[in-house]
């Protein structure tokens, strides 16, 4: 566990296996923001800049620390009583779209207890999957957590079935796997985020700004480009259903890998 602001340099992979295969991978970077240090970051905080982090982009506009602590208490996850940070994409020239951000919640010994996946769709909606072992024990890379799909993300996937979540944040290496199984328990979509963490400094921010130009614009472009490819392949478009009132849900424990 690192307690200072970090950059995560890596790749995102999406692989749809049903009903037709479609695969894409792209380079990306995330910022890792400790909640207790966000007022003194190497990047701009709550103000316009080439790269910036805004509180209002997360936690439905509420105070970040108060909001995440309330959720932890709501689900009885009091073991997560230590460091909290958020892994997300920054604003680039004022624009941001975070398909998924990860709130990492540790105990006082530095063990990972909870990962809250904050998922946004392109319709301006959001849902939070609280990923934790039911007994509150530390999350290991071998643990697979299972959560019902309750949020409409892709217009080419029904709001049914379930996800499995697997997290490896050991040392500076990162591997997150989120797989989607349809209501027939068939694996339909595999997604992953992999990469390495490095210190966030003004120089490293300048380097990634030019190495991954307009990365948030790229993310939203690729979402629509892949949607067009799926339509060409004959995948039916699914109309957005009304969002459920409850915007937070918890996982259960699946089998370990």
Which has more confidence, 154 or 115? 115
Q: Buried b vs exposed e over 112-139: b needs ≥16 C-beta within 10 Å?
A: bbbbbbbbbbeeeebbbbbbbbeeeebb
pLDDT of res. 256: 66
Residue-level pLDDT at 1: 67
Q: How far apart are the first and last CA of the chain?
A: 22
Whether the Cβ atoms of residue 254 and residue 166 lie closer than 8 Å to each other = no
Q: Which residues contact 55 (CB under 8 A, 6 or more apart)?
A: 38, 46, 61, 63, 64
| pLDDT value at residue 99 | 93
Q: In the prediction, which pLDDT does 21 show?
A: 87
Residue 133 pLDDT class (50, 70, 90 cuts): very high
Q: Has residue 141 got a pLDDT over 70?
A: yes
Name the nearest CA neighbour of 204 among 30, 35, 87.
30
At 129, is the pLDDT very low, low, confident or very high (cuts 50, 70, 90)? very high
CA pair distance 157, 251, nearest whole angstrom:
20
Alpha-carbon span 102 to 118, nearest angstrom: 6
Q: At residue 254, does pLDDT exceed 70?
A: no
Instruction: Characterize the bridge pairing of strands 187-199 and 6-16.
Output: antiparallel
Whether residue 257 has pLDDT greater than 70: no
Q: Beta strands of 49-93 (E only): which ranges?
A: 51-53, 84-88, 91-92
Tens-digit pLDDT profile for residues 19-66: 888 888 999 999 999 999 999 999 999 999 999 999 999 998 899 999
Answer whether 41's CB lies under 8 Å from 254's CB: no
For 174-230, how does the pLDDT look when each residue is reduced to its tens digit (9 = 90+)? 999 999 999 999 999 999 999 999 999 999 999 999 999 888 887 787 777 777 777
């Amino acid at each position: 566990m690192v307690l200072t602001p970090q950059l995560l340099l890596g790749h995102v992979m999406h692989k749809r296996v049903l009903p037709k295969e479609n695969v894409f991978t792209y380079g990306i970077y995330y910022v890792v923001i400790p909640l207790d240090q966000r007022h003194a970051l190497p990047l701009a905080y709550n103000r316009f800049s080439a790269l910036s982090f805004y509180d209002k982009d997360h936690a439905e506009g509420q105070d970040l620390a108060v909001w995440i602590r309330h959720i932890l208490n709501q689900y009885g996850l009091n073991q997560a009583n230590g460091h909290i940070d958020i892994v997300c994409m920054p604003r680039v020239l004022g624009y941001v779209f975070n398909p998924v951000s990860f709130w990492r919640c540790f105990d006082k010994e530095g063990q990972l207890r909870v990962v809250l996946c904050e998922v946004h769709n392109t319709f301006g909606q959001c849902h939070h999957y609280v990923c934790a072992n039911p007994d509150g024990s530390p999350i290991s890379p071998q643990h697979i957590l299972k959560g019902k799909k309750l949020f409409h993300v892709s217009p080419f996937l029904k709001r049914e079935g379930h996800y499995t979540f697997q997290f490896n944040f050991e040392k500076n290496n990162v591997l997150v796997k989120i797989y989607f199984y349809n209501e027939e328990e068939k694996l339909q979509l595999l997604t992953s985020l992999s990469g390495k963490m490095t210190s966030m400094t003004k120089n490293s921010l300048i380097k990634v700004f030019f190495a991954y130009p307009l990365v948030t614009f790229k993310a939203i472009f690729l979402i629509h480009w892949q949607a067009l490819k799926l339509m060409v392949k004959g995948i039916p478009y699914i109309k957005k259903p009304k969002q459920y009132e409850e915007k937070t849900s918890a996982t259960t424990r699946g089998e370990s890998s």
